Structure 1
Amino acid sequence: MSTTIDPAGRLVVPKAVRDAMGLKPGVPIDIVYIDGRIQIEFAPIDATVDASNGLPVITTSDDVPPLTSEEVRATLETTRR
């Protein structure tokens, strides 16, 4: 899939790639250059884990939207392959 860099130096990420990754405006991402390739990943989220009550509870310092049932199901299916 081809794309371009505009005169301001911005990289155009094709819609099919944005949709496949779930990228939406305002989502923080990390871009790195490794071994001749540009990699785009979701930026890590600062979180803490508290397991003092038996089950782990993850708390973030960022405002993170909850996962939908569809997102959880798709992630499970992807990792089971």
Structure 2
Amino acid sequence: MICTMKSTIDAAGRLVIPRDLRRAAGIEPGVPLELRVEDGAVVIEPASTPVRMERRGRFVVARPLLPIPPLTNETVERTRDRLAAERGIPHARKKR
């Protein structure tokens, strides 16, 4: 999915990313971001989570070094809806 919008940088160097664009990118308030220049374009994406690999029984698992916010139903539903729309899959939400 491609979502294009315009914004400006203010005198302090801040850039406001419109809500619909943040949602399309899965960027939530307070999420650390990584910024880089790639082929002359500024790329902004959620920062990767630093992890430590540790053994748990027969398995090796990645354990985050920093606290991770809990996954909410709203985030899951928004992600599911976005993916269904991108893939052209009709999606009917179950009533609770």
Classify the TM-score, shorter chain. Answer: 0.7 to 0.9
1:46 correspondence with 2:55: no
Structure 2: stretches of 5+ with no match in the other structure: 88-96
**Separation in 2 of the partners of 1:15 and 1:67?**
20
Where does 1:1-81 land on structure 2 (aligned, <5 Å)? 1-68=5-72, 70=76, 74=80
Q: How many residues align?
A: 76
Shift of 1:23: 1.9
RMSD, aligned CA = 2.4
Which is bigger in relative contact order (C-alpha 8 A, separation at least 6)?
2
Q: Which runs of 5+ in 1 are unaligned?
A: none
Q: Radius of gyration: which is bigger?
A: 2
* Closer, same or farther: CA 68–56 of 1 in aligned 2, 3 Å: farther
In 1, distance between residues paired with 2:20 and 2:39? 24
Q: What is the TM-score when the length of structure 1 is the normalising length?
A: 0.72
Structure 1 segments of 4+ aligned residues over 3 angstroms from their partners = 66-69
TM-score, scaled relative to structure 2: 0.63
